Amino acid sequence: MESQSSASASSAHEASAQSAAWLESDPSSRLGPERYKFFTSYCQLAAEELLPHLHRIVGHVIILRSSPLTSVKRTAAWKVRPYPYIGQWGFLNSKIAKLPHYSQLLRRATEGARVLDMGCGLGQDLRQLAFDGAPSHSLYGADIEPSFWELGNDLFRDRDRFHGQFIEIDLLAPAAEILARVQVSLDIIHVSGVLHLWDQYSQTKAIRTLVTLSKTGTEICGSQMGRATGSAAPPWIQGSQVPFLHDRNTFRALWDEAARQSKTRWDIEVNITELKYILSGKTDKDWINENTRQLWFRATRVE
Ligand SMILES: C[S@@+](CC[C@H](N)C(=O)[O-])C[C@H]1O[C@@H](n2cnc3c(N)ncnc32)[C@H](O)[C@@H]1O
């Protein structure tokens, strides 16, 4: 698929930013005690400082701001891309820590496995790994939007403590271009909330690219929106691709096709569960229905 020009992409984002159902002004209901503890401890903020800090980063109202740290003008997160991930404070969640095999993944990361978070957004999962003991110099984040990880640097206030690297990548660009940018041997690739942005053709292409970043033993894992019965869904952002949300079988078939095309072999586990972290407020109900599920997967390259 051809990528949109940045001008038309940003006007589509602007239209979506004003009309999306998933804009919530109060993050309190998304911040359970565990997340509250993580954010106050990791960001080194007093309890009463956290909410104003989060509002500054998301910038529901503030459209442009100057960063005191870099003096570069940047858009606040909601204006960059109006995903539920921002509007419904999805970045307060750690997707990686909710993977059923997180303790095994964390053990490998703590022992120095190189981890890439593809589509890392603000980088909350990389910070979760660092908070849980993984050495940050073996953590990598990649995203098409550098503004997200720059805002993440402000959000987490860890410029002097976090030594992970961020790489600007369009996962739908030619694989050779992406390989040239990554240039590290990866043990774990985490990709959550990304493949579900696209149609089946782009998802297959993206998985094939992830495969080119792997070697025997590499694990690719993540979570995303799924469905009890896989089907196409309305675009997340006006004018962007019609995404396909998978069930267990359609996701397996997708992975099998990418493996066949890339002549690799994978052990893959796919699970569909009820959505746990989404609440029952109006903004959830507007875009979630009885067919909506959470999909988890873990694929390990065996050949
Ligand atoms: C819904 S957010 C998910 C963020 C995070 N991984 C999580 O699960 O909380 C989707 C992320 O994918 C990024 N993204 C969208 N298109 C992309 C592309 N073509 N290549 C790389 N990243 C992309 C977005 O900028 C955004 O950060």
* Residue 17 belongs to some domain of the structure: no
If one residue of 4, 10, 85 were mutated to test the ligand 1 pocket, choosing by the most ligand atoms within 8 A of its CB, it would be 85
Q: Is 123 left (phi over 0), alpha (psi -120 to 50) or beta?
A: left
| C-alpha radius of gyration, the chain, whole number | 18
What is the DSSP secondary structure assignment for residue 20, as one 8-state letter? -
Task: Indicate whether 64 pLDDT > 60.
Answer: no
String of DSSP letters for 171-185: TTS-HHHHHHHH-S-
Q: What is the pLDDT of residue 94?
A: 95
List, in sequence order, every beta strand (DSSP E) within the chain: 64-66, 73-75, 115-118, 139-143, 165-168, 188-190, 219-227, 231-232, 244-245, 266-273, 292-301
Report the candidate in 118, 111, 154 with the shortest Cα–Cα distance to residue 134: 111
For the chain, how many residues are written?
303
d(CA 91, CA 85): 6
CATH number at residue 134: 3.40.50.150
Sign of CA dihedral 155, 99, 27, 46: negative
Domain count within the chain: 1
Q: What is the pLDDT of residue 274?
A: 85
* Residue 161 belongs to some domain of the structure: yes
Q: What is the pLDDT of residue 27?
A: 83
* Residue 67 belongs to some domain of the structure: no
- The pTM score is 0.88
Instruction: Say yes or no: CB of residue 170 within 6 Å of ligand 1.
Output: yes
Q: Give the range among 50-59, 108-117, 201-210 with minimum mean pLDDT.
A: 50-59
Higher-scoring residue by pLDDT: 281, 161: 161
* Residue 154 belongs to some domain of the structure: yes
Gap from CA of 201 to ligand 1 centroid (Å): 17
* Residue 152 belongs to some domain of the structure: yes
φ/ψ (deg, to 5) at 85: -50, -35
Gap from CA of 83 to ligand 1 centroid (Å): 9
Q: What is the pLDDT of residue 69?
A: 29
* Residue 55 belongs to some domain of the structure: no
State the closest ligand 1 atom to the C-alpha of 173, by its place in the atom list counted from 1: 19
Gap from CA of 145 to ligand 1 centroid (Å): 8
Q: Whose CA is nearest to atom 9 of ligand 1?
A: 91
* Residue 214 belongs to some domain of the structure: yes
Gap from CA of 216 to ligand 1 centroid (Å): 26
User: What confidence category does residue 9 fall into, taking pLDDT thresholds of 50, 70 and 90?
Assistant: low
d(CA 187, CA 212): 13
pLDDT in tens, 113-125: 999 999 999 999 9
pLDDT in tens, 260-286: 999 999 999 999 998 765 555 655 656
Domain that holds residue 271: 92-301
Spatial neighbors of 142 by CB under 8 A, at least 6 apart, are 116, 117, 118, 119, 120, 166, 167, 168, 169, 171, 182
* Residue 278 belongs to some domain of the structure: yes
State the closest ligand 1 atom to the C-alpha of 148, by its place in the atom list counted from 1: 27
If one residue of 117, 126, 190, 197 were mutated to test the ligand 1 pocket, choosing by the most ligand atoms within 8 A of its CB, it would be 197
User: What confidence category does residue 232 fall into, taking pLDDT thresholds of 50, 70 and 90?
Assistant: very high
Instruction: Say yes or no: CB of residue 106 within 6 Å of ligand 1.
Output: no
